Amino acid sequence: MKPGQWLIKVRDARPLVHNITNVVVTNVAANALLAIGASPVMAYAHEEVADMAKIAHAVALNMGTLTPDVITAMRLAGMSANTYGVPVVFDPVGVGATPYRNEAAFLITSSIRLNVLRGNAGEIGLMVGSGGQVTGVDSSGASADLPAAMQMYARQHRTVVVATGEEDLVTDGDTLWRLTNGHPLLSTITGSGCSLTGLLGAFVGVVDKDSPLTTYAQAAVAAITCFNVAGERAAQVAYGPGTFQAALFDALYHLTADEVNEAAKIEQMD
């Protein structure tokens, strides 16, 4: 299925995505999901996260602003999602920056079965064991061994692994996709990565639950491509980061399947 067809599928299904995300950009991530055609919900209370995850089409977990309560909420939501066959996307924001973030990432990945592990190149390098550098919550370097390490991790953990940056890498353990759409302005606004994590939830949320892992990988490729093509379109009319963010929401809203398919820069590397 081409990436544009996945966009149509998301808009037809309007999947409910349960986000436990970075509080700095909660509104941004919610608006991005609404613009693409999904339905966001932000629920954090321990008393309801398991119930919300149960009825969602996907759960998107983001470590951007960590507290002990947030970690517990993520684990409760993720375990509930696993019980009811709801896909889980995990974004280990800032892993490697502090021991606390490393511990949190370990607790979450050891207690929840992930469908997609998504981070920047430095974060994913640290998660998959190839090494990387993270300053604060930003990547500052990744190893040349990253693609091979991503594939090995994906095979061992039966999950899709996504590393984003100037180019984006996606693997299901067998196939590696290299994606080269996007624009530098995406890195100048808060919430672009967090929004993408939410969008990944929307796209994997429309995958049939008995589908093989490669189908989830294809949905992830489509989500990233749609987001990056929208970024390219937004940059054409933006004057800087402020107008770019608003233009990005508009571009996501007006994005068409044909536009995505024509602009997609996807290379499959077996």
pLDDT in tens, 91-100: 999 999 999 9
Cα–Cα distance for residue pair 227/231, rounded to 1 Å: 6
- Average pLDDT rounded to a whole number, residues 142-161: 91
Higher pLDDT, 209 or 208: 208
Q: What is the pLDDT of residue 221?
A: 98
pLDDT in tens, 53-90: 999 999 999 999 999 999 999 999 999 999 999 999 99
- pLDDT value at 169 more than 90: yes
Q: For residue 21, give the amino acid letter.
A: T
**Residue 4 Cα to chain centre, angstroms:** 18
- pLDDT value at 50 more than 60: yes
Higher pLDDT, 269 or 56: 56
Structure tokens of 79? 């375990």
Confidence class for position 269, pLDDT limits 50, 70, 90: confident
- Please spell the DSSP secondary structure of 1-45, one letter per residue: --HHHHHHHHHHH--EEEEE--GGGHHHHHHHHHHHT-EEEE---
- pLDDT value at 250 more than 80: yes
Q: Is 240 annotated as a binding residue?
A: no
pLDDT in tens, 107-140: 999 999 999 999 999 999 999 997 655 554 444 4
pLDDT above 90 coverage of the chain, percent: 92
Q: Is 198 annotated as a binding residue?
A: no
The pTM for the full model equals: 0.94
Q: Is 191 annotated as a binding residue?
A: yes
Cα–Cα distance for residue pair 248/226, rounded to 1 Å: 11
- CA dihedral in degrees (226, 161, 148, 131; nearest 10)? 110
Q: Is 79 annotated as a binding residue?
A: no
Instruction: For domain 3-269, give the fold.
Output: UDP-N-acetylmuramoyl-L-alanine:D-glutamate ligase (3.40.1190)
